[in-house]
Structure 1
Amino acid sequence: MPPTDPHERRQRADRWLADGAGGLAIVVAVGGRDVQRVDGLADAVADLAGPALANVHVVHAYTPEQFDETTDRLNFPDDAPPEPDEVARRTKAVRDLVDRLETATAEDATRIEVHGTVNEDAGEAIVDLATDVEADRVLVGGRKRSPAGKAVFGSTAQHVLLNADCPVTFVRD
């Protein structure tokens, strides 16, 4: 049974890290439509990350058009464009997922980082981040498809599934 005292949990994590346990690096891709998938994504991360002292990288990949629309919607000033990480931190899907992850992994030494990126190809941006952080696993969300659509995932999920250097978990509605 893991300790419930935060100080004891931190000490346990420090001991494990000192013993060479670096934990898993997990990338969780979140898009604007993933608000309804937050619980499923968080549960999948908690199942993977909890006992392994994971570093969870929540990434929201924007196209340039989506980034501009989002900064306008979130009322960022036009004269001082924000960093993509800051925009990602303020989006509902990311906020909800981070809140849920913090609750689900409270008894573990999981570190959660938020990344925003702007790229014409969201799938490429997610794969690049997974490579940069040396991810052990990538999680992407998607919706249930019709029988004809089952052969093809969404283009972002498909790109990640086909190009990531690590295992990819597809979490569907």
Structure 2
Amino acid sequence: MTIETMLVAIGPNDRERVERLAEKTVDIAGPTGADVVLARVFSDDGYDEVKSALNFNDPTTDEVAGRDATVRDFGAVLDEADVTWSVRGRVGDPGDEVVAMADAVDADVVVVGGRDRSPTGKAVFGSVGQAILLSAPCPVLYVGSGTDSE
């Protein structure tokens, strides 16, 4: 399998996982030369809040996503590793939008992060990562918190 494009889903709670997510992404993108697309999906309210805090007129969702602190931190790690990357922003349901972006960029793999939870916890509380795992048009690398699993 050739990996040319990786889509990495960056969520609002991924700040504590950014180093681990970036490390796993670099482990694949570095040797393969894959382009990395950082995907940041906002809720309607979250997008309006972030957009209003920016000091420029009528930004695109990609520009708003590029200003996200977690996205910037992730990009810095990719820059340090000489990995080519870009940012895509969307507003809506995170699972649906990440799957749609994976299709739009013709991703060869999607990388998602999440907390390590029991299967019961995922069934009861739902999981964006689980929704992506079940619906993505390509293989998905799920990166847990790293406390109990690898």
Alpha-carbon distance between aligned partners in 2 of 1:146 and 1:53, rounded to the nearest angstrom: 35
Which SS does the other structure have where 1:170 is aligned? Answer: strand
Which SS does the other structure have where 1:81 is aligned? Answer: coil
Cα separation, partners in 2 of 1:111 and 1:59, compared to 1, 3 Å: same
Q: 1:89 aligns with which of 57, 66, 88?
A: 66
Which SS does the other structure have where 1:143 is aligned? Answer: coil
| Shift of residue 93, structure 1, vs aligned partner | 0.5
Contact 2:95 2:132 (8 Å CA) reproduced:
yes
| Shift of residue 146, structure 1, vs aligned partner | 5.0
Query: 2:46 is matched by which residue type in structure 1?
Result: Q
Q: 2:89 aligns with which of 116, 126, 131?
A: 116
Query: 2:48 is matched by which residue type in structure 1?
Result: D
Q: 2:46 aligns with which of 60, 63, 66?
A: 66
So what's the TM-score if we normalise by structure 2? 0.86
Aligned sequence identity (%) = 41
So what's the TM-score if we normalise by structure 1? 0.76
Contact 1:139 1:169 (8 Å CA) reproduced:
yes
**Aligned residues: CA RMSD:** 2.0
Deviations 1:36-79 (A, max 9, x none): 1111111111111111111100010112111012223x3346xx
Contact 2:78 2:84 (8 Å CA) reproduced:
no
What does 1:1-173 align with in structure 2 at a 5 Å threshold? 24-72=4-52, 74-76=53-55, 80-103=57-80, 105-106=81-82, 110-119=83-92, 121-145=93-117, 148-149=120-121, 154-173=126-145
Matched pairs, number? 144
Q: Structure 2: 5+ residue runs without aligned partners?
A: 146-150
Which SS does the other structure have where 2:13 is aligned? Answer: helix
